[in-house]
Amino acid sequence: MSGARRAPRTALVVGGGISGLVAARDLAARGLRVTLVEAADHLGGAVGAHEVAGLVLDSGAESFATRSPAVPDLLAELGLAGRVVHPNRTGSWLYLPEGAVPAPSSGVLGIPADPTAPRLRAALGRAGVLRASLDRRLPAFVGTTEASLGGLVRARMGDRVLERLVAPFTAGVHSAHPDDLDVDAVAPGLRRALREHGSLGAAAAALRLASPAGANVAGLRGGMNALSEALVHDLEEAGVKLVTDHDVIALDRDPRRDGWMVIQRQPRHGDKTAVARGELLVVATDGPTAVRLLAGHHETLQRFAPEAGPQVALATLVVDEPRLDGAPRGTGLLVSEDVRRVRAKALTHATAKWEWVREAAGPGRHVLRLSYGRAQADASAVPPEVSLPDDQLIRLALSDASTLMGVPLRPRQLVGADVVRWQSALPRAGVGHARRVAEFRRAVAELPDALAVGGWLAGTGLASVVADTRSQVRARLAAAGVPEASDPARPTRAPSSTRRKD
C-alpha cells in the first residue's frame, strides 16, 4: 500500500458475529462510515438467544474466559460490567466408561494443577496418579517442543491424564482430540509458563490463578446474548448501516471509489441486488467463506482453505425434577469418547451453574443443555446424532441426561425443549494453526485495505475473538493512516443511520 493514499473514510464489514460487530464498533469509533452485511436474519453469530419453556437462554456461547481483560473491557465500554456473574463453584464431573467421576477443580483445559488430589483418584487410578506425578520431577524442558496439546500432556503427565481428563475437555470445547490441537492456539502461554514454573501442573495452576476470582469463566446475568444485543444497539446509535439476510457470495474491487464492494448478494427474500461498498474491507465470516471471498484477489490465499469445524447441535431441555436441586453432577459433565451408552459429548446443568437461570426457572425446574457432534475421522461427515430430526434428538437428549445425571427423567417431566444447530462454528485449531494464520494474514495484508478476523483465525472463544479483532483493527487503521480517536470507547456518530433489512 502506498503511503501517498489518503486514509479510508468508509468500511465494509462482511459477517455480523461478535468479531464483525466488534470490528464495526471500533471502526465507527475512529470516524469511519461503516456498512455491515450479515447472511443470517439476526446479528451476533454464535452469541444469541432462544426461548425455551418461557425462559430466555443463550442459544450458543454462554460464558467467556477470564484469562484476559478483553471481554471485561468491552463489557465495561458497553455498560454491562454490572451484569458480570461467576458460575457456582459446585465443581464439574466427567463421564468415563465406568461412570461419573469428579473433574479436576484446578488447572486449565482439564490439565490438573495437582494430579495427586484425592478427587482425581477415581478418574486416574493409582498407576495414572503415579505417572502424572512424574511431571514434578521431570526437567522443565520435557514437552516444550511438542506442537500438539496431546503431545505436551502425554510427555509430562502420561496417557491417563490425557485421555481421561484433557480429551473430554477438548472434545467438548474444541470438538477435537488434544493430539489434533495446536498447543499455542488453544492454550496460549502454557508452554512459557511450563518453562517458568518447571512443571505442567504448576503452569496450569498459574494460568488459572491469572484469572480474576480464580474462575476460568464468567457470564452475564440474562446471558451472553446481552453482549450481541448491546453491540447492535451501540452500532445503531453510531449510525452503522446493518444489513441482515444477505449472504455475500463475492467481493470485488470498486473501480470508481478505490475500495471494495459486494458485487453480488443473494437475498433470501426477493431478488434485490443492492451493492454495499467500503474503502476498507473487514471479512469476519467463518474460515471457508473468508478464503472463498478473498482467494480471487491473491493467488496464494486459496491454499489456506481451513478445515470446516464439525457440525454441532445443542439440545436444551427444561425439566421438572426436584431431585436435581442438589446438583448431583455440579455444573455439568464432559463425556469421554470411550463411553458408548451416551451420545452427548457434554452436558451443562445451567440451573446449577448460573444463579440467574435458577432464579428464572424457579424451584424444582431445571435447564439441561446437551451438546452433540464429535469430530469425525472424515472432517466433512455429519456426526450421526446431529443429523437426527429435532424430536428424535430431544428424546435421545432426555435419555442421555438421565444417564449422565443419575436421575431418571421421563417425557412427562419435560416442560420445554429446543435444538439449535451450528455449522463451522467451532473451527479446528490443528497443529501448525498458528503458523498458517500468520501466513494467511501476511497474504491478506498485501491486499489493498483488507483485513480478516474471527474465531477461525483468533482461536475459538470470545476472549480470543474480541482481543484479536480489536488488535487487528487497530493495527490496520494505523497502517492506513487513520488518526487515533480521542475516546476510542465511544463510537462517533456518523451520517447515514438506517438499519436495512432488505
Interface positions with ligand FAD (CB under 6 A): 14-20, 37-40, 45-47, 60-65, 247-248, 284-286, 289, 312, 314, 422, 425-426, 454-455, 460-462, 465
Place of cell 518447571: 198
CB of 12 to ligand FAD, least distance (A): 11
Q: Which cell is 34 given?
A: 461503516
Query: What's the rounded Cα separation, in Å, for the pair 229 and 47?
Result: 9
CB of 242 to ligand FAD, least distance (A): 12
**Closest CB to ligand FAD among residues 37, 123:** 37
Nearest to 200 by CA among 125, 117, 159, 139: 139
**Closest CB to ligand FAD among residues 460, 472:** 460
**Closest CB to ligand FAD among residues 96, 425:** 425
CB of 203 to ligand FAD, least distance (A): 21
CB of 40 to ligand FAD, least distance (A): 4
**Closest CB to ligand FAD among residues 3, 270:** 270
**Closest CB to ligand FAD among residues 159, 390:** 390
CB of 350 to ligand FAD, least distance (A): 11
CB of 314 to ligand FAD, least distance (A): 5
Query: What's the rounded Cα separation, in Å, for the pair 111 and 108?
Result: 5
Q: What is the sign, positive or negative, of the torsion defined by CA atoms of 473, 474, 476, 482? A: positive
Place of cell 485421555: 163
**Closest CB to ligand FAD among residues 124, 260:** 260
**Closest CB to ligand FAD among residues 65, 187:** 65
> If you ran DSSP here, which 8-state letter would residue 389 be given?
-
Place of cell 480429551: 167
Q: 401 forms bridges with which residues in the sheet?
A: none
From the number of C-beta atoms within 10 Å of its C-beta (0-12, 13-18, 19+), residue 137 rates as exposed
User: Under a CB-based contact definition with an 8 Å cutoff, are residues 482 and 32 in contact?
Assistant: yes
**Closest CB to ligand FAD among residues 168, 201:** 168
Query: What's the rounded Cα separation, in Å, for the pair 29 and 404?
Result: 47
**Closest CB to ligand FAD among residues 190, 294:** 294
CB of 322 to ligand FAD, least distance (A): 27
> If you ran DSSP here, which 8-state letter would residue 459 be given?
-
| H or E element, residue 52 | strand 49-52
**Closest CB to ligand FAD among residues 383, 461:** 461
What does the longest C-alpha to C-alpha distance in the chain come to?
A: 72
From the number of C-beta atoms within 10 Å of its C-beta (0-12, 13-18, 19+), residue 188 rates as middle
CB of 266 to ligand FAD, least distance (A): 9
Ramachandran quadrant class, 216 (left: phi over 0; alpha: psi -120 to 50; beta: rest): alpha
**Closest CB to ligand FAD among residues 7, 40:** 40
CB of 373 to ligand FAD, least distance (A): 9
User: Under a CB-based contact definition with an 8 Å cutoff, are residues 398 and 409 in contact?
Assistant: yes
CB of 230 to ligand FAD, least distance (A): 15
Helices (H), 302-362: 350-353, 355-361
CB of 170 to ligand FAD, least distance (A): 14
Beta pairing class for 64-65 and 217-220: antiparallel
Spell out where 66-124 has E strands: 84-85, 93-96, 99-102
CA dihedral 104, 161, 184, 186 (to 10 degrees): -50
Query: What's the rounded Cα separation, in Å, for the pair 502 and 486?
Result: 35
